[in-house]
């Protein structure tokens, strides 16, 4: 059972109210420490998939108090071992933990909204490390494509940092967070530009054989490619909500995005605009499919804002994003049908 430690710092009078607040909540243990006149620190051991309703309760009950802060920490191990996660904690009824929107409780089986938000935000930002990783991964992918070397292409997929910005776009659309969406778009645009420029420069100085299998296979958009991107986007987003390791997710998504993007750059640089158009369609199909699958997966996992007014904005944002991505997917499908007919 994955666990999290919630450390709640509150003024002295509020400490006892917290203990009463969570009498029938999914907490495995609760310890209170008096901070010598500086308030109270409450340590609560909570299953990872139940941290969101607990944090929502804390925010709803104590957000108005001054000098209150909630800190969420991962737990590597604990003794004694917790009960098997198929068994419910004694005295716990997750159905008794509604949020303030009046709907059913959030879906369990994933990390909390706040933890997921923090993980996604950390993957954003155009800094030297992000640009260096993108440039290096595009260089490795370009060499792998030119040499028809599958191992080198897979290596580029592992180090490609393009997952975070795409997942962030889906997450921002699901929550209606326009500030996060703007940051995700900037990071994604910078990553795509960096991944395009290095191969484009290589295409200017090196011979690019578009008949090589590794390159030729990435100059045609097919229904199978769209299905691959949809599956990769759903798998990557699902892994994000489960808190799985970043490199594993990076392989799932980069396999459908980095190689055709690098192929596009090399073909444009070498002046082969016909095959480059096919690579461009493949890149567009992958981005559309990954974002569409990401939004659908976030919705299926119960990701939504905490308050009702934020949820109204999120519903409009999600509906608009789904319509746009679906229309673009239909357009790409029509292009596939026209080209192959």
Is residue 90 situated within a structural domain?
no
State residue 187's pLDDT score: 92
Q: What is the distance between the alpha carbons of residues 297 and 105, in angstroms, rounded to a whole number?
A: 17
- Pick 17 or 300 by higher pLDDT: 300
Q: Which CATH number belongs to the domain containing residue 33 in this structure?
A: 3.30.70.120
The average pLDDT across 175-187 equals: 90
* pTM beyond 0.95, yes or no: no
User: Total domain count for the chain?
Assistant: 2
Measuring CA to CA, which residue among 49, 268, 304, 261 is closest to residue 166? 261
216 and 313 housed in the same domain: yes
52 and 149 housed in the same domain: no
Q: Which range of residues forms the domain containing residue 193?
A: 114-340
The average pLDDT across 318-325 equals: 91
**CB of 95 within 8 A of CB of 85?**
no
Q: Average pLDDT, whole number, for the chain? A: 78
Of the three residues 41, 65, 82, the one that is the final residue of a domain is 82
167 and 78 housed in the same domain: no
> Which range has highest mean pLDDT (24-28, 46-50, 198-202, 310-314)?
198-202
User: 166 pLDDT exceeds 80?
Assistant: yes
Chain segment 43-65, per-residue pLDDT in tens:
888 877 777 777 777 777 666 66
73 and 150 housed in the same domain: no
Is residue 98 situated within a structural domain?
no
Q: What is the distance between the alpha carbons of residues 69 and 62, in angstroms, rounded to a whole number?
A: 9
Lookup: tokens for 88: 């419910």
Is residue 100 situated within a structural domain?
no
Chain segment 206-227, per-residue pLDDT in tens:
888 888 888 888 888 888 888 8
**CB of 149 within 8 A of CB of 143?**
yes
User: 297 pLDDT exceeds 80?
Assistant: yes
User: 104 pLDDT exceeds 50?
Assistant: no
State residue 72's pLDDT score: 82
Is residue 145 situated within a structural domain?
yes
Q: Where are the alpha helices (DSSP H) in the chain?
A: 12-21, 51-62, 113-122, 128-146, 150-159, 163-175, 178-205, 213-216, 223-242, 246-254, 258-269, 273-300, 308-340
């Amino acid at each position: 059972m994955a666990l999290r430690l919630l450390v709640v710092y509150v003024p002295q009078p509020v400490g006892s109210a917290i203990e009463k607040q969570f009498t029938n909540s999914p907490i495995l243990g609760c310890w209170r420490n008096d901070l010598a006149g500086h308030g109270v620190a409450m340590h609560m051991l909570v299953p990872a998939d139940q941290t969101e309703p607990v944090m929502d309760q804390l925010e709803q009950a104590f957000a108005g108090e001054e000098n209150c802060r909630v800190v969420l920490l991962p737990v590597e191990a604990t003794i004694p071992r917790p009960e098997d996660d198929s068994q419910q904690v004694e005295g716990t009824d997750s159905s008794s933990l509604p949020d303030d929107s009046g709907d059913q409780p959030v879906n369990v089986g994933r990390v909390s909204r706040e933890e997921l938000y923090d993980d996604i935000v950390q993957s954003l930002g155009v800094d030297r490390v992000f640009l260096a990783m993108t440039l290096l991964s595009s260089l490795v992918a370009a060499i792998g494509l030119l040499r028809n070397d599958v191992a080198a292409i897979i290596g580029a997929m592992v180090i490609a940092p393009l997952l975070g910005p795409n997942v962030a776009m889906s997450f921002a659309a699901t929550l209606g967070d326009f500030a996060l969406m703007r940051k995700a778009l900037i990071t994604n645009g910078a990553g795509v530009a960096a991944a395009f420029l290095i191969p484009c420069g290589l295409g200017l100085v090196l011979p690019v054989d578009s008949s090589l299998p590794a390159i030729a296979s990435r100059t045609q958009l097919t229904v199978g490619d769209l299905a691959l991107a949809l599956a990769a986007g759903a798998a990557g987003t699902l892994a994000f909500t489960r808190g799985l390791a970043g490199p594993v997710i990076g392989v799932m998504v980069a396999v459908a995005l980095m190689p055709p993007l690098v192929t596009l750059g090399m073909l444009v640089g070498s002046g082969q605009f016909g095959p480059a158009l096919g690579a461009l369609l493949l890149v567009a199909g992958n981005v559309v499919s990954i974002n569409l699958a990401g939004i659908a997966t976030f919705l299926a996992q119960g990701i939504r804002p905490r308050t009702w007014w934020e949820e109204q904005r999120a519903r409009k944002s999600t509906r608009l994003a789904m319509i746009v991505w679906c229309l673009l997917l239909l357009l790409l499908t029509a292009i596939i049908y026209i080209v192959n007919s």
